[in-house]
């Protein structure tokens, strides 16, 4: 082969190698970062726990709402260098589908972002609140999520109270028996976790304050409702017992109500 032929063959071989390398995802060479989503890491925030009874007067509204000054920092890496925004949401354990608060972290340089937010939590809404931070680039690509937990508690707390029971003194089957327990909590109605009625046969049933279940009329008003169909029953006097529990693990005194079943 002539010198010119050997040169042409070598050039062709080099071209094939370049084309082969370009077709391989793992091939070394120039990295095309277009379309690569950003990444968030090193999330830090404070506080990560709050006790209501330890808050000062400037951090409480009307003895019923805790004001928590949340500070957040995160690092964002983006190979495209086209980060559009870095966002955060705080989700409540009581409604995970509706953010309690949301907002934007601001760049502080060198790929770090920061935000301060005053978060209002109802006094009785004890639980674990989730902080989620993520980034979006100019092409709309979403990053991974950085997560943290804020524990909110009342401290010692105070027990709920059953103020009264609304129920008939007597019934004549067949009928529907409607029971209402009027409940309060010194730490707020949001701290009430459960209200139950214990029937004369030893069964326990939940009562509801959601404005729909078992004929409850108004959500969140502290009037917990239960309803029973009574097609028939032996005449006599029967005792129903009521008790409330809060999110601190405290329980009310048991309140009893006697109902007489009349015979025909």
124-178 pLDDT, tens digit each: 899 999 999 999 999 999 999 999 999 999 888 789 999 999 999 999 999 999 9
pTM of the complete model: 0.64
Q: How many CB atoms lie within 10 A of CB 130?
A: 17
What was the pLDDT predicted at 183?
A: 98
All domains of the chain in start order, with CATH? 39-153 (2.60.40.2550), 161-261 (2.60.40.10)
Q: Convert the pLDDT of each residue in 72-127 to its tens digit.
A: 999 999 998 999 999 999 999 988 889 999 999 999 999 999 999 999 999 889 99
Interior/surface letters 47-79, b for 16+ CB within 10 angstroms, e for the rest: eeebebeeeeeeeeeeeeebebebebbbbbebe
Q: Convert the pLDDT of each residue in 179-196 to its tens digit.
A: 999 999 988 888 899 999
Indicate whether 207 pLDDT > 70.
Answer: yes
Tell me the backbone φ, ψ of residue 237, rounded to 5 degrees.
-110, 130
Per the model's pLDDT, the better-predicted residue between 63 and 118 turns out to be: 118
What was the pLDDT predicted at 257?
A: 97
Interior/surface letters 81-113, b for 16+ CB within 10 angstroms, e for the rest: eebeebbbbbbbeeeeeeebbeeebeeeeebeb
Distances (CA, A) of 18 to 9, 27, 121: 14, 10, 61
């Amino acid at each position: 082969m002539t010198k010119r032929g050997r040169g042409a063959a070598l050039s062709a071989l080099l071209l094939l190698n370049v084309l082969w390398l370009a077709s391989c995802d793992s091939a070394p060479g120039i990295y095309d970062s277009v379309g690569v989503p950003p990444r968030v890491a090193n999330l830090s925030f404070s506080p990560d726990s709050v006790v209501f009874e330890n808050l000062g007067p400037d951090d409480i509204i009307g003895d019923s709402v805790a004001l928590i000054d949340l500070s957040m920092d995160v690092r964002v890496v983006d190979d495209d260098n086209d980060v559009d925004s870095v966002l955060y949401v705080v989700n409540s354990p009581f409604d995970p589908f509706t953010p309690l608060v949301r907002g934007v972290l601001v760049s502080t340089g060198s790929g770090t972002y920061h935000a301060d937010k005053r978060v209002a939590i109802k006094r009785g809404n004890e639980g674990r609140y989730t902080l989620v931070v993520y980034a979006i680039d100019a092409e709309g690509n979403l990053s991974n999520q950085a997560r943290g937990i804020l524990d909110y508690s009342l401290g010692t707390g105070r027990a709920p109270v059953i103020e009264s029971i609304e129920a008939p003194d007597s019934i004549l089957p067949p009928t529907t028996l409607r029971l209402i327990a009027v409940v309060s909590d010194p730490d707020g109605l949001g701290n009430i976790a459960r209200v139950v009625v214990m029937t004369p046969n030893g069964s326990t049933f939940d009562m509801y304050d959601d404005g729909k279940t078992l004929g409850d009329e108004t959500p969140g008003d502290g009037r917990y409702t239960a309803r029973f169909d009574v097609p028939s029953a032996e005449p006599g006097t029967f005792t129903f017992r009521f008790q409330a529990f809060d999110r601190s693990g405290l329980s009310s005194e048991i309140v009893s109500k006697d109902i007489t079943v009349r015979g025909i």
